[in-house]
Chains A and B, each alone.
Chain A
Amino acid sequence: MALLQISEPGQAQPKRRACGIDLGTTHSLVAVMRDGRAVTLPGAEGRHRLPSVVHYGDGPATVGWAAAQGAAGDPGNTFFSIKRSMGRGTGDIDEAHDLVEDSTSGVPRFRTAAGPKTAVEISADILAALRARAEEELGGELDGAVITVPAYFDEAQRQATKDAARLAGLPVLRLINEPTAASIAYGLDQEDDRGLIAVFDLGGGTFDISILHLSRGVFEVRATGGDTELGGDDLDRILLDWVKEECGAEEVDRVWTRTILQAVRQAREALSEQDSAQIDCGGGKVLTLTREELEQRSAPLLERTLRCCRRALSDAGVATADIQEVVMVGGVTRMPYLRREVSRFFSRAVHTGIDPDRVVALGAAIQADVLVGNAQDQDLLLLDVIPLSLGIEIMGGLVERVIERNTTIPAHHAQEFTTFKDGQTALAVHVVQGERELVSDCRSLARFELRGIPPMTAGAARIRVEFQVDADGLLTVEAAETVSGVRAGVSVKPSYGLEEPEIEQMLRDSIEHAQEDVASRALNEQRVEADRVVQALRDALETDGHILSDDAERSGIETATRALIQARDETDADAIRAGIKALEDACAPFVERRMNRSIQQAMQGRRLEEFQEQD
């Protein structure tokens, strides 16, 4: 493409390629818009659900059904439920895998036939398989993707998901929460004012409950709660213990465990349709699992979900009677028992109309289509919240909360702290996430130091710590001493997160593995970015060109644009990067003026509406 085309007014813009991805604990899906409707995409073997299973052998990674089928034969190199390890440290991993000892950043690395792998890389392999599906369907490289995460995912888990997307070469428009995605798919915004809805989302590995208020296309999350270690997997483990008891099996190996886990899952799923199911335990022993037995075993799990529901309701300041709709999401909610009990808890019938396995991916595709700019007339706005409070460590190992859980994002909050010793010139800032009062009970997110504070008496320094949470729920922290102006800041990379150089190294490795040329991939990425920037600017100028201050500003922007387009058609990635920067600088005043005009419109729009109402 030599020149960017400017469409004539009234002429339809070409559709941008976007997809929604549900990266699940046990299964993953990808969905796109086709003829105005969201559809999930099948793989080559015709199945839509891709098991979130990765196998590493001699060649490239195998993902999905093939990996799952071969699992029993090579459990050490096969990874199930890797989502549970995302954003987690070595101490949190209880997988049946060997860890590689030496890891620089505290991110666990699993030993595999293809070398050490982190959870982020394993997830990236799953994402890459889904990306290929979407690109085949859409006929080219993606312009944007929305990836869903459990609403209750913390900062580290979200960051890990975003890193995995980057490794998989996915241009992420937004991470959105699974329950929110499900409510979009149900189209519950279609009616004028649906009031409050509850989304009960029990997947393979995580449980979420979200309380949302819907009104004319605005999805406002009022409260969210859950448990990132509670799902169908846990039920299978309970059933595994039951099988062990019944068979009198004590010493068991990984292969047996893997086989039985698969058998109990199948039995559990079958029990949604029938009253009893058989489990073959090997050695000629077959057990019968009845629906009644299953329900009894599931009761503690149900109770844990209801406890989360109660807290979310209380956080939202509402009672069960205020909830007007209940949506069930996640394959486990097929269990008649869960449907019955959740329905009883909320005293109302539950929505189960859309396939609970696909609903999240479908909602993500709808949102991706809006965000990428294909559906500008769509009146859809998500106002989501952070699930866990963010704070910093203060004296005595206590947590001072800076942003409370269930605060709508993006969020910004500043708090002042001071020094406690005379002449103190440095301050350690330790950022944590969680609801408990002791730092040791919360998750450590990041540490950094503010140095060079001029010596003052204790309590005289004014240290302003600013927290900023973006629309993906990711945090940036800055600290400044306001008397002297000393500053320090971090874009929080969680303690169990990958460092930037590590990600870059992984990217290089994966490219080499795929026998691509590293330089050509970097060049291609910069070209895509340049096209995006120029296109976004063209769109902006087309609608708002009249607010350019004068011809000098216009010609400055045009010159920078021409320079960028020229650089783009040559082969120097760094030159393109510089060109993007130069264009952005040239546009800065225009961009700010445009944003201020949006503000004015918002302020005036309301007044106009008022006049109309009074007429």
Chain B
Amino acid sequence: MPLELPQNYFELFQLPCALEVDERQLIEQYRVLQRELHPDRFAAAGSQEKRLAAQAAAHVNQAYRTLNDRHERATYLLQLQEVVVDDEKDTSTEVEFLMQQMELREGLEELDGLPEAEAFGVRLEREAGALWEDFGVCYAGGRWLDAREVLLKLRFYRRLQQQLQVRREQFSTG
């Protein structure tokens, strides 16, 4: 008998299956689930309870980690539609977009000081925001493959934002 734990992450957290989630509901339900299922609750119990609790808690953790991150959430939404996005292999092939990305990358490398980095961050934020809106429209319209294309573009922005964070730290620590 397998554990009767909802396999669908959204169902597990009692959230509608959508890109936008109620973050408060997410964290509250996470805590409720872990309070009941964490292996610490079974530390003095038998080995079977411990094993089942570890299994259940690991599932809850993975679900939480997925839904708590916008990119992961979007990937999961597509996965539920049987559309696979492979982080390693898949990439956007739109030439115009790739050119623009190269330009942004150069911009990032040429940054000179914190104020510039902040301004660059605002720009990334704005452009990524527009793409997220596109994703929402494609997803709502059931255009999964278009949504996937948008998500692949957004990965470029995520990477840029991570690199910008590194630059910011370099600037602030000298």
Contacts and interface: CB of A to CB of B under 8 A. Distances in A.
Interface in B19-71: 28-29, 31-40, 43-49, 52-59, 61-62, 64-65
B165 interface: yes
Given A381-B38, A382-B40, A595-B53, A536 B46 contact: yes
Contact of B56 (A532, A533, A599, A600): A599
B47 A584 contact: yes
Given A382-B40, A411-B58, A606-B32, 14 more contacts: A144-B44, A310-B169, A410-B54, A412-B55, A412-B59, A470-B39, A471-B57, A537-B46, A587-B46, A591-B49, A591-B52, A602-B35, A605-B32, A605-B36
Contacts of B56: 595, 599
Given A371-B40, A412-B59, A599-B4, A536 B54 contact: no
B25 to A, nearest CB: 8
B32 A383 contact: no
Contact of B32 (A379, A469, A589, A602): A602
A603 B49 CA distance: 19
A15 interface: no
A407 interface: yes
A408 B61 contact: yes
Nearest to B36: A602
A542 to B, nearest CB: 13
A44 B173 CA distance: 50
Nearest to A173: B43
Interface of B: 1, 3-6, 14, 28-29, 31-40, 43-49, 52-59, 61-62, 64-65, 165, 169, 173
Nearest to A588: B48
Interface in A330-373: 370-373
Contacts of A592: 1, 3, 48, 52
Contacts of B58: 409-412, 468-469
B69 to A, nearest CB: 10
A471 B169 contact: no
A173 B44 contact: yes
Nearest to A370: B40
A425 interface: no
Contacts of B1: 589, 592-593, 596
Interface string A444-477: 0000000000000000000000001111000000
Contacts of A412: 55, 58-59, 61-62
A601 interface: yes
Contact of B4 (A383, A468, A600): A600
Given A412-B59, A468-B54, A595 B46 contact: no
A218 interface: yes
Contacts of A562: none
Nearest to B45: A536
A428 interface: no
Contacts of A383: 34, 38
Interface in A399-422: 407-413
A274 interface: no
